[in-house]
Amino acid sequence: MLDTAIEQLFRKAPESYDQTDFETFQEFKKALNAGEARAAEPDPSSPLGWKVNSWVKRGILIGFRMGRTVEMSDAGSRLQYFDKSTYAPKELTLSDSVRVVPGGSSIRDGVYLGKSVTCMPPMYINVGAFVDEGTMVDSHALVGSCAQIGKRCHLSAAAQIGGVLEPVGALPVVIEDDVVVGGNCGVYEGTIVKTRAVLGAGVVLTRSTPVYDVVRGQVLRATAETPLVIPAGAVVVPGSRPIQSGKGQEWGLSLATPVIVKYRDEKTAASVQLEDLLR
């Protein structure tokens, strides 16, 4: 089993790696590229709906240990690039049915891209990420290491989806199917955004960010054991709340606070729909 082989290899000293070990890693990276090995995957039995595959993260870390820093500059280019030999840019062919629009985007080897994914320049997708079919990654957007992006999502311009490799047991950021992430949004630290949610431009979500749901009268927070979870269909916009004590209150200061102002309806769906003609 590949997971057992990776766990054994992770415990091995890097100076003792042999040809068989390199072949094991290449098999692992092939599984990453095919979407067969995922840092996290749906799990209906879990309260969060997701489970972490720590062995996959260990496999990615092995690649950094194995790799040598080599030149990856294009022939004749004045731009110079130096990176780990194990994580060169991902190789794509026309048969992959992925659009990578010219203009300076980069996708690292070890990334899964589903059919009809569109990559608008310049954007970056890091190793271990899973981007499912029909999703658009817009200009200046980042998909961090191990992030899980669902089907038919739109990561708008300058959206930042955080990555995580360590600790290996930590859940990566999860963006489920049909989610819209607005421009200049930041989603970090294992936050889960459930299906069909909409994040308005400028929303920032972290483990320490309370989200005020004015529709259901709840305050959503991460705990020591669980990440922040944005409910299915929630429409989240940037808001603020006043500081209630000390100098903050005296000076009239407020803290930025995401607010759920509604849940997605037909009108919302029409306003955020990504036209099929663009795909």
Handedness of CA 162, 139, 271, 279 (dihedral sign): negative
The model's pTM is: 0.94
- Confidence band of 267 (pLDDT split at 50, 70, 90): confident
CA 180 to chain centroid: 13
Ordered structural domains, the chain, with CATH = 2-70+97-270 (2.160.10.10)
The stretch 80-85 carries a mean pLDDT of 93
**CA distances from residue 211 to 22, 168, 239 in whole angstroms, order as listed:** 45, 26, 9
Q: Give the pLDDT confidence of 37-58 residue by residue, as tens digits.
A: 999 999 999 999 999 999 999 9
Q: Give pLDDT, residue 278.
A: 64
Closest CA to 274 of 152, 148, 101: 152
Looking at every residue in the chain, the average pLDDT score rounds to: 94
At 275 the pLDDT is 58
How large a percentage of the chain has pLDDT more than 70?
96
Give the model's pLDDT for residue 10. 97
Helix axes of 2-10 and 19-33: crossing angle, nearest 10 degrees: 130
127-147: per-residue pLDDT in tens?
Answer: 999 999 999 999 999 999 999
> What number is the average pLDDT over the span 195-222?
97
- Judge contact between 116 and 134, C-beta under 8 A: yes
Q: pLDDT band for position 194 (50/70/90)?
A: very high
DSSP letter (8 states) at residue 77 = -
pLDDT confidence bin for 266, thresholds 50/70/90: confident
Of 62-76, 114-128, 138-152, 251-265, the range with the lowest mean pLDDT is: 62-76
